[in-house]
Copies of this chain bind each other. A is one copy, B any other.
Amino acid sequence: MLETNGQRLWDSLMAMAEIGATANGGSSRLALTDEDAAGRSLFVQWAEAENLTISRDAIGNLFARRAGRDDVPPVVIGSHLDTQPKGGRFDGVLGVLAALEAVRTLNENEIETVAPIEIANWTNEEGARFTPAMLGSSVFTGAMTLDDGLAREDANGQSVAESLQATGEAGATPLARKYDAYFEAHIEQGPVLEDNDKTIGVVTGGQAIRWLDVRFTGKAGHAGTTPMPVRRDALFAASAAITAVEEYVAGIDGLLATVGEFHVAHGSRNTIAADVHFTLDLRHPEDDVVDRAIDTIRARFDERLPSRDVDYDLSLHWRSPALPFDETCVRHVRDAAQGLGYAWQDIISGAGHDAFHLAKHCPTAMVFIPCADGLSHHEAESIEPEHAKYAADVLLNAALARAGHV
């Protein structure tokens, strides 16, 4: 199988990291700022050196196209160049520059493909400057209207439309153009590959996600004058409930539960808590498992709470269904990893990616590589240079298989 040039890819990653470089070795290129524009400009310069055709759409998504033999929908490969305020050097960037490296390799090997191959850089994937995250791919695929996307404002009240105007990053390429397929390479942002000694994750899809709000209501009382048996302590009830959730989840393979926020209303050292609210994030590759988890959690609360004389309310804040990737595209990724002899495993994506929007638009798959200690959204984000090359190799061969070698 064809292999990319690891040193050239690493040099490009390091050159891009210089734009918006932070004191602690990370990068800061918030979407549609001067730094992001400078990063895009460097990418365009590299892409033009490869004779790629540059275009932009109305939400600022940036494309670099390598013509195919036929004028058919392209096989698209890419990710995003924007970062968190104190982001790492690889989240998103790897996917765009691995795509560039794949095209460079096609060029130097003078390989013609049947379908065009196009690199995509999606606008505002991070959601750090404008909400929501994945805004560019959202508007491209129609999950969000263009007007809505353009109207989003940052914390200073500057809109996406104004920022596109200021950076000159908007263009006329139609939204929702037909794609043959989409492949995205990304760092895992979790510890699974590293823990399993694998260098390639063949991503089979995204998890089902449920965000729940849980509120316990008891009765306030004086910490010194209220005997334990008559208390209606909302915090003790909430703690026991969280422990019950933890115990249940531990018995279901692949089910994830996170209580990330916990608030006591009018909290005071010597007052029994009457009003406690916490968040619960539940995830699993299958919708059924998550929905059954919610039912079971409710049942356990119903079973255990009456003796406490504490009320609870469990409400769904956000539901994101499981999203399996296209089986053919996944197989292209798996075959590439296998053919190249890299240690691979199937993996579910825990985090969100532009690929999830694209998956509703065209056949899609992703490839992951490990990042040290699973750390991401952090200046210390770190990968092995060799793994970056593996990502580009797999991406190249999967895209080539899909686009067709003339």
A: residues with CB less than 8 A from B are 188-192, 195, 207, 209, 211, 221-228, 230, 233, 235-236, 238-240, 242-243, 246, 249-250, 255-264, 267-273, 276, 279, 281, 283, 349-352, 374, 376-377
Instruction: Judge whether B261 and A262 touch: CB under 8 Å.
Output: no
The answer to whether A227 and B240 touch (CB under 8 A), given A261-B268, A351-B222, is no
CB contacts (< 8 Å) of A281 on chain B: these are 223-224, 269-270
Instruction: Judge whether A376 and B262 touch: CB under 8 Å.
Output: no
Q: Determine the distance from Cα of A190 to Cα of B222 in the docked complex, in whole angstroms.
A: 7
Q: Determine the distance from Cα of A209 to Cα of B222 in the docked complex, in whole angstroms.
A: 13
Q: Determine the distance from Cα of A353 to Cα of B332 in the docked complex, in whole angstroms.
A: 76
Smallest CB-CB separation from A240: which chain B residue?
A: B243
CB contacts (< 8 Å) of A261 on chain B: these are 264, 267-269
Instruction: Judge whether B264 and A264 touch: CB under 8 Å.
Output: no
Smallest CB-CB separation from A247: which chain B residue?
A: B240
Q: Please pick, from B209, B236, B376, the residue contacting A242 in the complex, using a CB distance under 8 A.
A: B236
Q: Determine the distance from Cα of A242 to Cα of B276 in the docked complex, in whole angstroms.
A: 14
The answer to whether A376 and B222 touch (CB under 8 A), given A191-B227, A257-B228, is yes
5 sampled A-B residue pairs with Cβ under 8 A: A236-B243, A239-B242, A240-B243, A261-B267, A261-B269
CB contacts (< 8 Å) of A349 on chain B: these are 224-225
Smallest CB-CB separation from A283: which chain B residue?
A: B224
CB contacts (< 8 Å) of A221 on chain B: these are 190, 374
Q: Determine the distance from Cα of A374 to Cα of B227 in the docked complex, in whole angstroms.
A: 11
The answer to whether A235 and B223 touch (CB under 8 A), given A228-B249, A230-B191, A269-B211, is no
Instruction: Judge whether A222 and B374 touch: CB under 8 Å.
Output: yes
Smallest CB-CB separation from A207: which chain B residue?
A: B224
The answer to whether A283 and B223 touch (CB under 8 A), given A228-B256, A258-B272, A260-B272, is yes
Q: Please pick, from B190, B260, B377, the residue contacting A264 in the complex, using a CB distance under 8 A.
A: B260
Instruction: Judge whether A258 and B246 touch: CB under 8 Å.
Output: no
CB contacts (< 8 Å) of A227 on chain B: these are 190-192, 195, 256
Q: Please pick, from B188, B226, B255, B273, the residue contacting A225 in the complex, using a CB distance under 8 A.
A: B188
Smallest CB-CB separation from A258: which chain B residue?
A: B223
The distance from the CB of A294 to the nearest CB of chain B, in whole angstroms, is 16
CB contacts (< 8 Å) of A255 on chain B: these are 228
Smallest CB-CB separation from A282: which chain B residue?
A: B223
Instruction: Judge whether A225 and B374 touch: CB under 8 Å.
Output: yes
CB contacts (< 8 Å) of A240 on chain B: these are 239, 243, 246
Instruction: Judge whether B260 and A270 touch: CB under 8 Å.
Output: yes
The distance from the CB of A129 to the nearest CB of chain B, in whole angstroms, is 17
Instruction: Judge whether B224 and A209 touch: CB under 8 Å.
Output: yes
CB contacts (< 8 Å) of A260 on chain B: these are 223, 235, 264, 267-273
Instruction: Judge whether B267 and A222 touch: CB under 8 Å.
Output: no
CB contacts (< 8 Å) of A263 on chain B: these are 262
CB contacts (< 8 Å) of A233 on chain B: these are 258
Q: Determine the distance from Cα of A272 to Cα of B280 in the docked complex, in whole angstroms.
A: 11
Instruction: Judge whether B226 and A256 touch: CB under 8 Å.
Output: yes
Smallest CB-CB separation from A371: which chain B residue?
A: B225
